Structure 1
Amino acid sequence: MTHWLLVMPIFIPLLTATACAFSFRARSLSSVISWCGAIANLCVAILLMQQVISNGLQVTAFGDWKAPFGIVFVADLLSASMVLITAIIGIAIVLYSTADLRSKPFYAIYHSLIHALLAGVMGSFLTGDIFNLYVFFEVMLITSFGLMVLGANKEQVDAAVKYVVLNLISTMVFLLAIGLLYGATGTLNMADLHAKVAQLPDTTMMLISGLFLFGFAIKASAFPVFSWLPASYHHLPSAIVALYAALLTKVGVYALMRVFTIVFDLVDSGYQPLLIVIAGLTMLTGVLGAASQFNIKRILSFHIISQIGYMLMGLAIYTPLAITGAIFYIIHHIIVKANLFLIGGFLKRKQGSDNLRELGGAYSAMPWLALLFLIPAFSLAGFPPLSGFWGKFLVIKASLLTEDYLLAATALFVGLMTIYSMTKIWAEAFWKPLPENAAAPASLTWKENCLYITPIAVLAVITVLIGLMVEPIYQLAETSATNLLNPQPYINAVLGGDGSPYAASLSIPAAPAGGMQQ
């Protein structure tokens, strides 16, 4: 059972992508295939998560070529959680797209590409060696570029070129780092690298780890290599940009967490002080960029950058509590950011624009949408008891405990500026009257409204549940952080040693009276 559970999160999206490509002449059939594939992937993701929680880390080696010589897929709590949340986003995007993009001539090919993209994302979360991480990164790059140029106008093509150029630089640097690492150690299996990297000369280790840091920083859209994101995302259809915002940069952060815990020790690499600076500047530049914008997609695109800073902050501090907060924040942000882009897309469909100067009256016309906007907006800003509050609380508490006071102050300031941006969207799009020269709101059918609102409502409910039922998510994040910082059970399980320390079931105890501990 373990073998097919680890393979199916990649196989099902690829099979779905192929079937959608062959049904490009039949829109209804493409929708059904895409839906069935997304639901099947969610079921497999749930089963995989249950298996990891019950039985511990899951490993499969292809063709009976054991690690470190063969291709290995590994599922621990962190990767299983990422696969599950990716499957949830996949269903939300497929449903939303059925209303938003069904009239487009590229509709069937679109579904084919998003499932191929999901396969790349899930493969990145499950692979146990660095070269296959590169392969899945390439799958994501090719499919994401394909999505950007579907039915593209001049602006979209220009945005796609900017997106591809910087990401190709990231890919080349990543491949160069892989070549140097293999030349120095003779292996690319992450578990095997843990011991062999420690034997490298310090200068060699710093050079190779620095290349990985640079390559993954571009993927994560960290300071100062984030310009591709705000230059490209705001030109995309809402369903596509919501998928990108939820997943693509998080794969970069995930790769940083894996490589700088299992392969390289961040402290020993010498890059911890630099990563602390990068985290603070990523938060600051992103939120200041958002504050200067007056277009919903541009505001939200810059906020992706600022929120990536919180995740990097958790990794940079490099304590169990900090990495727990970073993992918690990733889970929260995937849900919230996708939802905000979906809401922005619905507003654009209804009122014909996502420029705040041309919007208004949404509260009086659609009070239920106003409520659905406030939930992810308040969560992004860090209002208790929503999910964003807990993620920020954990990383800021960790920074105070390590006496990184300037970083904590930066994080608090960024939170205040995030409130400003969300308030600006509320005041302009929802609260003020619709401008007199604005076009009349579009009339949608009952079915279209349901297809738009259902994923928005479900993601809003998940945001509330994460905030109110924080203890299970905290325990999951805490266990994942512990396993990242103490990777020996992971290494034993992958290389065939005694993996029993990892195999204990995840327990979800009641919250201690003293609250969350470091």
Structure 2
Amino acid sequence: MATSAHPAAELPEAMISTLTPAGDWVIVLPLVLALMGAALLLMTRHAKNYHAGIAMVIVGAIIACDGVLLAHVLQNGPVSMTMGKWLPPFGISFTADIFGAGFALIAAMVTMLLLVYSQSERHADFGLDGYYALILLLLAGVTGSFLTGDLFNLYVWFEVMLISSFGLIVNGGKAIQLDGALKYAFLNFLATTFFLLALGLIYGLLGTLNMADIIGAAPHANSAAMVGVATLMLLAFGMKAAAFPLNAWLPASYHTPPAVVSALFAGLLTKVGIYALLRVLVLLLPDSRDTLEPVLVVIAVLTLVISPLGAIAETNLRRAMGFIVMGGIGVILAGIALPSQNGVAGSGVYIVHSMMVMTALYLVAGLVEKVTGQTDSRQMGGVYAANSVVSALFLLLVLAAAGVPPFLGFWPKLLLLQAGMDAASGTTAGMPPDYYGIAIIVALLLNAFFTLIAGTRLWAHIFWRAGVEGENSEHSLAPVEPLGRRDSRLALWPCVVLVAAIMIVGLAPNYLLDAAQRGARDLIDPARYVAAVGLAGNSP
């Protein structure tokens, strides 16, 4: 039985709650569909020819549920559902606000496009055994992380993601995949251990792991101890999100699996880590975040500046993409370091942008590797002459990643620059000292500039240059194969759809920006979030 904070009805043993309205069950339907779908695919592992179709149907149903949930939240505010015959904070709650529901919807839509792209990879050495089941299991972990209202439940979903992503990264069994899996697994297991330690401390200090309950209890706990907990959370989620200096594992591992798996990781996994950090520091522990503000500013600035410099120095195409992904994490960190409404809204919009752009970049990189037969940009060239569509897609994505107007990436950076200027001028109450805002502004501009250099450098070498690097390379054509019919139908179109969506939303961003501002208000002022869980009296 589930309970929620709607008008009361009597339950046995004097428990006052309400049976969850049928419409509110949509908050857990995406998780049920993903988990049951993964189980179904594992049970029918001998009928692999049907797995792709079944997975697409299930993800389509998840998209529909997430869409209904987001519409419900936009109209009525946050919605919560508590499992079992227990009132919150004792039962495990799932609570959806605008950010959680919106990110879950984008994650499901991106996964659908990746499933279509995967059909172009169906060859003998792709290792399809369990592939689609692992995709659904990973989507369940991502969706659960976005929608959970309980920190221990968040830990569980992180474990689900870790297990499924580890299975995906080794799918195929190549030596380079095993090498990348070891680096990926070690750092992520370490981060999960820090997260579990922080959970133990929170429970010992507050006696609860329900997020809405923590909001009310944290201000009354020992402030030094809570700062220690927040520091552990920053360490754990910073490692998972690949924030400086704990980010070397990402470019060392994300290039090892097939391109479609790399795209899934880049688009979803790092965003879950940084989203968890945004929710914990801004929503749950804002006082501890204020104490850690100098550290957050330093981490954000260094992540913003150093990551694209790594992309400039890198020659392996997908390793360079990894550095660009890390630079995007720095942009989101900037909003956590300057948690005004504009700053938090900018981080939220950038998460949406990054899910789409980073996914598309890896998918296009996979197409480039197919037509050139190479992974090193020094051995590539002449792709523009062989495939102008792929060339145009890559260039558009580079401009979007750098935040060039009118692409979607421009608007969150504009919001973050506004937050930085408010901080620098001291016009917003509660903002940090002036130099923090100035540092963030400079780092954001440098990030855009360096990302543009890194991306256009890759484009010039891979697409514009006629031959491979070396003596008289401009006079010798590089060997480039045209895309086959299967790749043109199944791999190219998901890239076109993503790029088109990035451009359309960038040209008409008002609806997204308005939703982000409303979502940011609910994080900074959590009264509606706490009331949805049924703990309104616990709000600070």
Q: After TM superposition, is the score higher than 0.5?
A: yes
Does residue 364 of structure 2 align to residue 343 of structure 1? Answer: yes
Unaligned residue ranges in structure 2 (runs of 5+)? 1-21, 425-436, 469-475
User: Which residue is 1:430 aligned to?
Assistant: 463
User: Which residue is 1:509 aligned to?
Assistant: none
CA deviation string 1:422-476 (max 9, x = no partner): 111211111121444844515512x331100111011011101111111111101
* Larger mean Cα displacement after TM superposition, 315-324 or 25-34: 25-34
Matched to 1:427, the amino acid is A
Count of residue pairs the alignment pairs up? 499
* Structure-2-length-normalised TM-score: 0.89
The answer to whether the 8 Å contact 1:246/1:338 transfers is yes
Distance 1:264 1:160, change over 3 A: same
| % identical aligned pairs | 36
Within 5 Å, which residues of 2 pair with 1:69-148? 69-104=90-125, 106-148=127-169
User: Which residue is 1:406 aligned to?
Assistant: 439
Matched to 1:444, the amino acid is G
User: Which residue is 1:156 aligned to?
Assistant: 177
CA deviation string 1:210-238 (max 9, x = no partner): 11111111111111111111111111210
User: Which residue is 2:481 aligned to?
Assistant: 441
Matched to 1:223, the amino acid is F
Work out the CA distance in 2 between the residues paired with 1:153 and 1:427: 31
SS in 2 for 1:234: coil
The answer to whether the 8 Å contact 1:59/1:494 transfers is yes
The answer to whether the 8 Å contact 1:315/1:326 transfers is yes
Work out the CA distance in 1 between the residues paired with 2:123 and 2:533: 44
TM-superposed CA distance for 1:106, in Å, is: 2.2
User: Which residue is 2:62 aligned to?
Assistant: 41
Does residue 439 of structure 2 align to residue 418 of structure 1? Answer: no
Does residue 514 of structure 2 align to residue 472 of structure 1? Answer: no
Matched to 2:164, the amino acid is T
The answer to whether the 8 Å contact 1:289/1:302 transfers is yes
Within 5 Å, which residues of 2 pair with 1:374-413? 374-403=395-424, 404-413=437-446
SS in 1 for 2:81: strand
TM-superposed CA distance for 1:28, in Å, is: 2.1
Aligned to 1:280, which of 301, 308, 315?
301
Work out the CA distance in 2 between the residues paired with 1:498 and 1:452: 52
CA deviation string 1:141-187 (max 9, x = no partner): 11111111111222211111111111111111100110111011111
Does residue 373 of structure 2 align to residue 352 of structure 1? Answer: yes
TM-superposed CA distance for 1:394, in Å, is: 1.3
The answer to whether the 8 Å contact 1:361/1:433 transfers is yes
C-alpha root-mean-square deviation of aligned residues, in Å?
A: 1.8
TM-superposed CA distance for 1:105, in Å, is: 5.3
SS in 2 for 1:235: coil
Work out the CA distance in 2 between the residues paired with 1:23 and 1:268: 48
TM-superposed CA distance for 1:112, in Å, is: 0.8
Distance 1:358 1:105, change over 3 A: closer
The answer to whether the 8 Å contact 2:527/2:536 transfers is no
Work out the CA distance in 2 between the residues paired with 1:450 and 1:329: 30
SS in 1 for 2:84: helix
User: Which residue is 1:217 aligned to?
Assistant: 238
User: Which residue is 2:283 aligned to?
Assistant: 262
Distance 1:413 1:226, change over 3 A: same
The answer to whether the 8 Å contact 1:221/1:249 transfers is yes
Matched to 1:458, the amino acid is V
Matched to 2:95, the amino acid is V
Work out the CA distance in 1 between the residues paired with 2:116 and 2:532: 38
The answer to whether the 8 Å contact 1:266/1:272 transfers is no
Work out the CA distance in 2 between the residues paired with 1:443 and 1:307: 30
Aligned to 1:333, which of 340, 354, 358?
354
The answer to whether the 8 Å contact 2:230/2:288 transfers is no
TM-superposed CA distance for 1:370, in Å, is: 2.0
Aligned to 1:456, which of 495, 498, 521?
495
User: Which residue is 2:228 aligned to?
Assistant: 207
Work out the CA distance in 1 between the residues paired with 2:167 and 2:491: 24
SS in 2 for 1:61: strand
SS in 2 for 1:59: strand
* Structure-1-length-normalised TM-score: 0.93
SS in 2 for 1:188: coil
User: Which residue is 1:50 aligned to?
Assistant: 71
Matched to 2:374, the amino acid is S
Work out the CA distance in 1 between the residues paired with 2:45 and 2:287: 47
* Larger mean Cα displacement after TM superposition, 31-40 or 481-490: 31-40
Distance 1:228 1:402, change over 3 A: same
Distance 1:496 1:409, change over 3 A: closer
Work out the CA distance in 2 between the residues paired with 1:322 and 1:272: 14
Work out the CA distance in 2 between the residues paired with 1:391 and 1:195: 30
SS in 1 for 2:95: strand
User: Which residue is 1:233 aligned to?
Assistant: 254
